[in-house]
Structure 1
Amino acid sequence: MIFAIMIGAMLFGFILTALQAPQALMALVTDAQVSRWFIFIGINLVLLALGCVLETVSIILITLPMLYPIVKSLGFDLIWFNVVMLINMELALITPPVGMNLFVIKGISPDSTIGQIIRGAVPFAVIMGFEIVLLCFAPQLATWLPAVLQ
């Protein structure tokens, strides 16, 4: 199944490249006279919405080729953005209706209802949201280790 997702995402990426969609999207974003943080919030909201209906691997394979040039042109650190994106994808794993971890927990604990499992996951979702906000205000939390290793 993962290979089918990867093949579909690669075909989708090829079509987007042939249509020059990433270049058009980057031109649209760079021509807009809005704050780079407004665009960053929009990117995170789109990733969160996609996380509600798609699986994380497919989201990464579909969106990253389009987001990479935008994030780079806005001047964000790419390592920092990838950390934020992965936290967002972790959030997608516990977000209904497709949150795979919710179904894994249901399989492990058949006596629990899905409602109980979702209520138990809400504090973790809130914490992940705070992590993203914290990384926006202190990006060095995500980039200190790669900076030390250079």
Structure 2
Amino acid sequence: AIEGTMRTTAMVMLIVLAAMFLNFVLSVIGLTALLTAFITDMGLSPMQTMIVIVIGFLILGCFMEAFSLLLIATPLIAPIVAAMGYDLVWFGILMMLLLETALITPPIGVNLYVIQGVRGYGSMNDVILGALPFVIAMLLMIVALLVFPQIALWLPEAIG
């Protein structure tokens, strides 16, 4: 059990290390600043920019594992969101919803494979169809957060 834990921890730490190195290289070569300037100069409204970011996350979430997407995309997207005047706490909550949606979206949705493994019988299509109402609910919540950001910010503002 300890050996398995060590292997898993080493794997996760290597992913984090590689993502940190990639983000360092991207910032050193100026890609983060260049991307922020490019997006802000496109002439899109802040809401249109957020819709593009949400669609991008949803598409990438279909083909990337959520943890990798989080580590790679956050340093690239957060400066754009801040430049658009959005609250980064709100964006973090929105991003968590997007990543959770990615976990139940085929073909890479890790949670779909976990459920199929626990079930032990039936087809993967049954699992995907079972997850569909949850995907729809998550998408509706994402739309609600885009339209009413106060939903996510109410509790942090109430606390202090």
**Following TM superposition, by how much is the alpha carbon of 1:112 offset from its aligned partner in structure 2, in angstroms?**
2.4
| Sequence identity (%) | 39
Q: For 1:121 and 1:26, how far apart are their aligned partners in 2? A: 35
Q: Deviations over 1:29-70 (max 9, x none)?
A: 121211111111111111111111111111111011111111
Q: Deviations over 1:96-125 (max 9, x none)?
A: 111110011011101121000000001100
Task: Provide the residue aligned with 1:54 in structure 2.
Answer: 64
Aligned length: 150
C-alpha RMSD of the superposition: 1.0
Task: Provide the residue aligned with 1:72 in structure 2.
Answer: 82
Q: For 1:80 and 1:115, how far apart are their aligned partners in 2? A: 34
Q: For 1:34 and 1:47, how far apart are their aligned partners in 2? A: 18
Unaligned runs of 5+ in 1: none
Q: Deviations over 1:58-86 (max 9, x none)?
A: 11110111111110110111111111110
3-state secondary structure, aligned to 1:112 = coil
Unaligned runs of 5+ in 2: 1-10
2:73 equivalent to 1:88 = no
Q: Which is greater in Rg?
A: 2
Q: For 2:12 and 2:57, how far apart are their aligned partners in 1? A: 19
Structure 1 segments, 4+ long, off by >4 Å, are none
**Following TM superposition, by how much is the alpha carbon of 1:144 offset from its aligned partner in structure 2, in angstroms?**
0.6
Q: Which moved more, 1:119-128 or 1:7-16?
A: 7-16
Q: For 2:53 and 2:158, how far apart are their aligned partners in 1? A: 29
2:123 equivalent to 1:113 = yes
Give the TM-score taking structure 1 as reference length.
0.96
Aligned counterpart in structure 2 of residue 19 of structure 1, from 2, 13, 29: 29
3-state secondary structure, aligned to 1:90 = helix
Aligned counterpart in structure 2 of residue 9 of structure 1, from 14, 19, 39: 19
Name the amino acid aligned to 1:66.
L
Q: Which moved more, 1:102-111 or 1:7-16?
A: 7-16
